[in-house]
Amino acid sequence: MGSAGLSRLHGLFAVYKPPGLKWKHLRDTVELQLLKGLNAGKPPAPKQRVRFLLGPMEGSEEKELTLTATSVPSLVNHPLVCGPAFTHLKVGMGHRLDVRASGVLVLGVGHGCRLLTDMYNAHLTKDYTVRGLLGKATDDFCEDGRLVEKTTYDHVTREKLDRILAMIQGSHQKALVMYSNLDLKTQEAYEMAVRGLIRPMNKSPMLITGIRCLHFAPPEFLLEVQCMHETQKELRKLVHEIGLELKTTAVCSQVRRTRDGFFTLDSALLRTQWDLHNIQDAIRAAAPQVASELEKSLGPQLDTKELPSREWSWESQGPSSTLVPERGAGH
C-alpha cells in the first residue's frame, strides 16, 4: 500500500462516536488503524548491491580463496532494520462531542485539515436529537447527575411544550439576524434568506435555527434541534430551562448529533469500519459534496485559509441562558 495509499488520504470523512468514548481516544484509534493499514502492505523489493565475497576459487584443486563479485540484497531500508515506514499521521478533529454525547463526528486527514477550518468558518448548522425526562433536576443537567430537586409534571401537555419551543425558535432567529450584521431591507439579505445562507459573521452564543418535539410521552420527550455554535452542555441546559418554563423540572438523558454540516448518519463510519480502505472510500465519496458546499458557503475565501494546528479548538463558550441568546456573548 505505502505511499500510494497515503496519496488517497487527504480529505474529510465522518465517523459515528458512541457514548462513553472520549474524542481524543477516537482520534488516536483512527490514526492507529490508518497507520496499520499503510504499513501492512508488502514492502518493495530490496535494492541489490555488489559485494566481494571470499570463497574458493572455481576449477582449482587447491584450497585457495579468492574474492568474487556477488549481487546481494541491501537491507538498509528493510522494516526489520529501520522500523515501519509510517509512524505518524496528521488527523484533525472537527466540531467535538463530549464523552456522554454520541453521533456524527467529522475528521480530516492530511490536507483535509484545511477543510476543517473552512467548515468552521462557514458556520454550518448541525442537527441533534435531545431526549429529556420531566420531574427532576440535577447539578449537571444529566440524568445520572446528583439529584437536586423532584417535581410533579402532570400539568405539562404537548401543546404547552410546543408553545415554549416556538418561543425559543423565534427569539433565536431574531438573534441570528442580529449576529449576521445584515440589513433585511436589501436584496442581498433577501436572497441569502431564501437560500438559507444567513450566518453569523463572527463569534456568537449558541443559535437555534429550528426546534420541534418528535415524541411526547411524559415523563419522556424527544426534541430535534438544529443549531450552530453550540456545546453539548448547552443543549442539556436547554432541556433544564425548558422544564423551568413548563413550571416543572427536566433533565437530559441523551444528546445525539445526527448531522454536522453536510455529513449525516448515513455517511458516518461505524467503529468496525475504522480502517484504511473504508476511510479512503469515505473520503472519495464525500469529496464532491465537500467542495460544492464549501464553495457555496465561502466562495473565493477558500484559497486564503491556513492549515490549523492539531489541537484546534472547536468548542463554544456559551451564554448563561440558552432560551434567549445574550448580546455580546462569546463563541
Which positions are annotated as active-site residues?
Answer: 98
- Measured N-to-C along each axis, helices 276-298 and 112-122 cross at an angle, to the nearest 10 degrees, of 40
> Quick one: which H or E segment has residue 260?
strand 250-260
Q: Is 223 exposed, middle or buried (0-12, 13-18, 19+ CB in 10 A)?
A: buried
Give the Cβ contact number of residue 109 at 10 Å: 23
Measured distance CA(328)–CA(331) in Å, rounded: 10
CA dihedral angle for residue 194, residue 197, residue 203, residue 204, rounded to 10 degrees: 40
DSSP string covering 126-145, please? Answer: EEEEEEEEETEEETTSBTTS
Q: What spatial distance separates the first Cα and last Cα of the chain, rounded to whole Å?
A: 42
Bridge partners, residue 73, by sequence: 48
Measured distance CA(229)–CA(262) in Å, rounded: 16
8 A C-beta contact, residue 130 and residue 223: yes
